[in-house]
Amino acid sequence: MTKKLCLALIFLLPLSSGCHKKDKNPLKDIDADKFLVRTEKAQTRDITEEILLAGSVKALEEAVLYPRVPGKLYKNLLHEGDRVKKDQPVALIERDEVGVVYEPAPVPSTINGVIGRIYRDPGENVTPSTEIALVVNQEQVRVKVDVPEQYTQQVYIGQPAFLSVEAFPNTSFQGKVYKIAPVIDPNTRTNAIEIMVDNKEGKLKSGMFAHVRLVVGRKPNALSVSRQALQKDEVSASSYYVFVPQQGNAKRVNVMPGLQTIDFAEIKSGLKPGEHVINFGLYGLKDGSKIQESASAAAGS
């Protein structure tokens, strides 16, 4: 038994040794005291600064219709979705006065549009304050959004805006700012604006939730780096810096940023076009830290 066990062990040793040789540590060439980093070149590009907002879609024109006289709803002349013209009767009211006979009183539409809602059924008692129907004109729609106070000076009438809704996730609807509130809401520190969008195809419907992108700044041919390369000073909130590789070490360079987007940050001073900056492996990196550049560093992120 002992002889057979020894032979089995002798046979397995070369196999074990062979398997061990095939295991290769992909990080074996990286020094333990160096930061694995990746770099990019500072370069010029066109930068567009946008803010993301949200609001509800509403028809540009909406009208709730009321009866002119009290009585009972005699008949609804139109249904939801029917088109209606201004002054066209939408419903008839039967006046309820003993001993007097009246012709049914019409409830006319006050605008051109579409019947959005019918609120009452025939036979219900109504008064001049009872809502009978809702008429909407959705050839143009509006979206009300609240702009943070710091961007109020960058908003103007006619400013382009882009909408998206869940019903059409791959479609961007272009509109423009057509109303700006003259005051700031003291509770939210925001400025209410309204965006108008042409809706001839009728895709946008009143009540939809809309995401809005508002362009608040453009800078052509701006020297910039990726947003993750720009670092904010922990002590001074107004100071920014980047790390540049220099003879195997990371060197901190103070910079002055300009426009910032989700992807890029403009650099007004501190860098030159073509200069390399570190954009990966920044965690724990300090001025003077030893670094090792790797083109495959992103694979480990």
pTM for this predicted structure: 0.61
Residue 117 CA to its chain's centroid (Å): 30
Per-residue pLDDT averaged across 46-58, rounded?
A: 93
Per-residue pLDDT averaged across 32-42, rounded?
A: 91
Which residue matches tokens 């590009």?
A: 45
**Would you say 295 and 38 are in contact if contact means Cβ atoms under 8 Å apart?**
yes
Per-residue pLDDT averaged across 172-185, rounded?
A: 96
Give domain 67-131's CATH number out of 2.160.10.10, 3.30.210.10, 2.40.50.100, 3.30.70.1230.
2.40.50.100
Sequence-distant (6+) residues with CB within 8 A of 281 are 35, 36, 37, 38, 291, 297
| pLDDT tens string 68-98 | 999 999 999 999 999 999 999 999 999 876 6
Domain boundaries, the chain: 35-47+220-300, 51-58+139-218, 67-131
Q: What is the pLDDT of residue 49?
A: 86
Q: What is the pLDDT of residue 102?
A: 79
Q: What is the architecture, at CATH level 2, of domain 51-58+139-218? A: Beta Barrel (2.40)
- Average pLDDT, whole number, for the chain? 87
Cβ neighbours of 237 (radius 10 Å) = 8
Q: What fold is seen in the domain 35-47+220-300?
A: 2.40.420
| pLDDT tens string 257-284 | 998 888 899 999 999 999 999 999 999 9
Question: What residue type is 196 in one-letter code?
Answer: M
Q: What share of the chain is helix, strand, coil (3-state, %, to 5)?
A: 10, 50, 35
Residue 68's Cβ-count burial label (10 Å; 0-12, 13-18, 19+) is exposed
**What SS3 state is found at 111?**
coil
Q: What is the pLDDT of residue 298?
A: 43
Assess whether the region 35-47+220-300 and the region 67-131 belong to the same CATH fold: no
Q: Taking the CA atoms of 140, 146, 151 and 157 in sequence, report the sign of the dihedral they define.
A: positive
Which residue matches tokens 């083109």?
A: 295
Question: Nearest to residue 113, comparing CAs of 76, 68, 65, 74?
Answer: 65
